[in-house]
Copies of this chain bind each other. A is one copy, B any other.
Amino acid sequence: MTQKTDDEIFVGNKPPMSYVLAIITAFSGDLKKVTLKARGQAITTAVDVTEITRHRFIKGLKVTKIMINTVEMPPREGETRSRMVSAIEITLSKE
């Protein structure tokens, strides 16, 4: 059995500290790498969460990769067309 060494956290519209706590919990185990994923307005939250975590909580936490792209979202209630939304992926690694 292989040990899981990385994980993904989806950042949405909860307060930033919920996600900070999720990252701290992830790294308190054996994880070496966590990728935050966020879409639309939550992109700013993902950047805030990254900055708060590495400045205040986890020493030596590095941003090893940042990717941006566009994802297709299903149409909202009452709409007929799907929407294109910007997204970000921020990978955090512990030394």
> Which positions 5-51 of chain A face chain B at CB distance < 8 Å?
40-41, 43-44, 47-48, 50-51
Stoichiometry, copies per complex: 2
CA distance A84 to B66 in the complex (A): 21
CB distance from A63 to the nearest CB of B (A): 7
With A66-B68, A68-B63, A68-B66 in contact, is A86–B41 under 8 Å at CB? no
CA distance A87 to B82 in the complex (A): 30
**Would you call A55 an interface residue if the criterion is a C-beta within 8 Å of the partner chain's C-beta atoms?**
yes
Q: Which of A43, A47, A51, A88 has the most CB of B within 10 A?
A: A47
Instruction: Give the number of chain A interface residues (Cβ < 8 Å).
Output: 19
17 A–B contacts, CB within 8 A, in A order: A40-B44, A41-B41, A41-B44, A43-B43, A43-B44, A43-B47, A44-B44, A44-B86, A47-B68, A47-B86, A50-B86, A51-B69, A51-B70, A51-B86, A63-B68, A66-B67, A68-B90
